[in-house]
Copies of this chain bind each other. A is one copy, B any other.
Amino acid sequence: MKQEDAIDAFSALAHETRLAVFRLLVREGPEGVPALEIARRLAVKPSTLSGHLGILKRAELVTATRRQKEILYAPNFASVDLLVRFLLQDCCGGDATACGSDASTAAGLMVVKES
């Protein structure tokens, strides 16, 4: 992952509506939710939502698949995983025990990094 891609992903999530969309999709799971249903549930105008979905899609945080007339949006968990790994890469110069000592929860993320 390049820095630029990480910035696209963080920018995409750094917005009230887009973060709400992503979390809604995470809750709903891999099946996906149609654009217009997302718009209705979050009380956002369809044209506005379309722009936001485009940004999330370009950042590869969501996938879009057509089902008849509708387009279903679903979260891309693999991208979140890559993003977190990128953020914590080479933590403490590679000696992960050095950061685990003061933040027990961070150790959990280190395990992810190693897996």
Tell me the number of copies of this protein. Answer: 2
Residue of B nearest to A102 (CB): B30
Assess A7 versus B3: contact at CB under 8 Å? Given A23-B89, A26-B89, A87-B26: no
- Once the chains bind, are B28 and A93 in contact (CB under 8 Å)? yes
- Once the chains bind, are A3 and B30 in contact (CB under 8 Å)? no
Answer whether residue A6 sits at the interface, using C-beta atoms and an 8 A cutoff: yes
Assess A30 versus B109: contact at CB under 8 Å? Given A16-B3, A78-B103, A103-B78: no
Answer whether residue A20 sits at the interface, using C-beta atoms and an 8 A cutoff: yes
Assess A99 versus B23: contact at CB under 8 Å? Given A77-B105, A77-B106: no
Which residues of A line the B interface, CB within 8 A?
3, 6-7, 10-11, 13-16, 19-20, 22-23, 26-30, 76-78, 80-82, 84, 87-93, 95, 98-99, 101-103, 105-106, 108-109, 111-112, 115
